[in-house]
Chain A
């Protein structure tokens, strides 16, 4: 059984991405008791799936490692992975959360030696790489995954493969009898850091993501460029595995569009500018199709730098639709450009859709009356009591702003539990 001690002076953080980790660590390092609930088998969220960070083009793994170390060292933080909050009731200073914990089938004895992985045959779509490859039925989600423990896919249970995995483990770490658990937690304040998910590109019918192999999304492109990723860091066309040398980026794919997401996802212009540097590094040319480039805040200089790169071309136009040249597998971008109203039908070897960010929160798990805006993000206003939203649960943000908002939430939550402590004397 999972044993978790919580009181109404405890802070519950829902979602363990960079925002949730920040809130949890800031509060824990200020001496508060924190429970961090994360749905995935590891913490870090979507930044673990990025190759480099704009604007510095450094690696997310660096900050992630620091945060993981801080988490490991701090006794005030309890991390529950493969856990989800299924309901929350109560009011400021006195909430009751129901948490469902799915079985990992691997306990804390695991040394991440990998023997079980070698022993099994079954393979499953690898969600971490957005389905670009497969992982074994016994796997470590990614090479830096924390907690450093393997996972057995639930579809393995009852198969001979599962028994093979168990037999291969020398540390008695595999327990195929593990069951789903539900725990009730009493807490004083709750911070939602449930983050974002990429907008479903299949819904943008005219771009044919579901029909054309060489139309991919920006999040897949990040995975492709990671040397540890599914293509070993090479930009390969899904249709024929050839290196793509002529890449088009389509901005606002699913954002700023009343048919899809109404809001501007804010980071995708910067993400594309960053991704053109990946292309240039791979000796490929980039063409960016855009409505306008929103290099937020002080990132204008990054945009100017990319504009100077002769390998990168900008075309002011929202692509109307994509067709395909059957012979070459090249997607053909059709539209009219705004600077001159010229009609174009231009083939490219690979097309990257800069998909929008939508909130991943399931609002039905929230208590009634929590303020949610028309885009589905939680609005941090005074009527939410002891519930706060950090990072991309509150808006489409880059890491810098997500972390700032997470720190602010830690302070708000600390104030709530301090009030509880004060009134209880």
Chain B
């Protein structure tokens, strides 16, 4: 368990709702949920994951910290915004789900083998290298995320998508040689570093 996680456990003790309100993006909305069930029933991913948003919000109130933060549910959210459009209380559900996922990740207790989490990490690393996303490299990394053989299978299964992106000029085969990047790479890295420092200072301030 990470240091930060231990600190948070000690700080908020049994009040997970308070912890969420203070540390999770849009977390202070959670208490507004009236448990009507519309988001759970409207979510296209609903049938496939452990806890729909409605249940996650109830679990937060019930103090089920570990279960929530290590849940794969938030990572399944496709950002379709169905839930936000339908919630009678206008909770920013999508953002809370992402916020929870991010918080779990920051504390080091997000599920390790969740594909979206891995994708996000690769996406981030890819972005950090050049300041832009290199679709080809990201795609290749993702294909081989489960090992070489599975990667070839993935590649074959998705070749239609790749070809489509290529035709639509979204995928440039020359990118394998380095790829496009922003003009001032070191400037960008400095900026991101600063932003990370600010974010970390903010989190420590909350401790």
Which one of A319, A320, A321, A338 lies within 8 Å of B35 (CB-CB)? A338
| CB–CB B55/A320 < 8 A | no
B70: chain A residues within 8 A (beta carbon): none
B86: chain A residues within 8 A (beta carbon): 206, 259, 320
| CB–CB B41/A334 < 8 A | yes
B90: chain A residues within 8 A (beta carbon): 258-259
Q: Is A256 positioned at the interface, with any CB of B under 8 Å from its CB?
A: yes
| Known contacts A317-B36, A320-B38, A320-B41; A336/B46 CB under 8 A | yes
| CB–CB A341/B88 < 8 A | no
| Known contacts A336-B52, A338-B54, A341-B54; A319/B41 CB under 8 A | yes
| CB–CB A341/B89 < 8 A | no
Q: Is A186 positioned at the interface, with any CB of B under 8 Å from its CB?
A: no
Q: Is A140 positioned at the interface, with any CB of B under 8 Å from its CB?
A: no
Interface positions, chain A 247-266, Cβ under 8 Å from B, are: 252, 256-259
| CB–CB A335/B89 < 8 A | no
Which one of A257, A258, A341 lies within 8 Å of B52 (CB-CB)? A341
| CB–CB B88/A335 < 8 A | no
| CB–CB B35/A259 < 8 A | no
Please name the residue on chain B nearest to A289 by beta carbon: B37
Interface of A is mostly: loop
A291: chain B residues within 8 A (beta carbon): 34-36
A 335-364 to B, binary, CB cutoff 8 A, 1 in contact else 0: 111100101000000000000000000000
Q: Is A166 positioned at the interface, with any CB of B under 8 Å from its CB?
A: no
Which one of A256, A257, A258, A317 lies within 8 Å of B41 (CB-CB)? A317
Which one of B41, B85, B87, B88 lies within 8 Å of A336 (CB-CB)? B41
B37: chain A residues within 8 A (beta carbon): 317-318, 320, 335-338
**Interface residue tally for chain A (C-beta within 8 Å):** 19
- Min CB gap A244→B, angstroms: 24
| CB–CB B88/A320 < 8 A | no
A338: chain B residues within 8 A (beta carbon): 35-37, 54
Once the chains are docked, how many angstroms separate the CA of A252 from the CA of B41? 16
| CB–CB A318/B55 < 8 A | no
- Min CB gap A345→B, angstroms: 10
Once the chains are docked, how many angstroms separate the CA of A343 from the CA of B36? 13
Once the chains are docked, how many angstroms separate the CA of A252 from the CA of B36? 10
| CB–CB A320/B42 < 8 A | yes
Please name the residue on chain A nearest to B40 by beta carbon: A336
B54: chain A residues within 8 A (beta carbon): 336, 338, 341
Q: Is B47 positioned at the interface, with any CB of A under 8 Å from its CB?
A: yes
- Min CB gap B186→A, angstroms: 47
Interface positions, chain A 308-347, Cβ under 8 Å from B, are: 317-321, 334-338, 341, 343
A252: chain B residues within 8 A (beta carbon): 36, 88
| CB–CB A321/B41 < 8 A | yes
| CB–CB B36/A318 < 8 A | yes
B 24-41 to A, binary, CB cutoff 8 A, 1 in contact else 0: 000000000011111011
Which one of B40, B47, B55, B88 lies within 8 Å of A256 (CB-CB)? B88
- Min CB gap A255→B, angstroms: 9
| Known contacts A318-B37, A336-B54, A338-B35; A343/B42 CB under 8 A | no
B85: chain A residues within 8 A (beta carbon): 259
- Min CB gap A247→B, angstroms: 20
Which one of B40, B47, B55, B89 lies within 8 Å of A258 (CB-CB)? B89
A337: chain B residues within 8 A (beta carbon): 37
B51: chain A residues within 8 A (beta carbon): 341
Please name the residue on chain B nearest to A319 by beta carbon: B41
| CB–CB A318/B88 < 8 A | yes
| CB–CB A257/B42 < 8 A | no
| CB–CB A335/B34 < 8 A | no
Please name the residue on chain B nearest to A317 by beta carbon: B37
| Known contacts A320-B38, A334-B41, A335-B41; A258/B46 CB under 8 A | no
B 84-115 to A, binary, CB cutoff 8 A, 1 in contact else 0: 01111110000000000000000000000000
A341: chain B residues within 8 A (beta carbon): 40, 51-52, 54-55
Please name the residue on chain A nearest to B85 by beta carbon: A259
- Min CB gap A9→B, angstroms: 48
A320: chain B residues within 8 A (beta carbon): 37-38, 40-42, 86
- Min CB gap B43→A, angstroms: 9
| CB–CB B55/A257 < 8 A | no
- Min CB gap B188→A, angstroms: 40
B40: chain A residues within 8 A (beta carbon): 320, 335-336, 341, 343
8 more A-B residue pairs beyond the given contacts A317-B37, A317-B41, A341-B54, with a C-beta to C-beta distance below 8 A: A258-B87, A258-B90, A291-B34, A320-B37, A320-B86, A341-B51, A343-B41, A343-B46
What are the nearest 4 A-B pairs in CB distance?
Answer: A320-B41, A335-B41, A257-B88, A336-B40
A-B contact pairs, 6 of them (CB 8 A): A252-B88, A256-B88, A320-B38, A335-B37, A338-B36, A341-B40
Instruction: Please list the residues of chain A having a beta carbon within 8 angstroms of any beta carbon in chain B.
Output: 206, 252, 256-259, 291, 317-321, 334-338, 341, 343
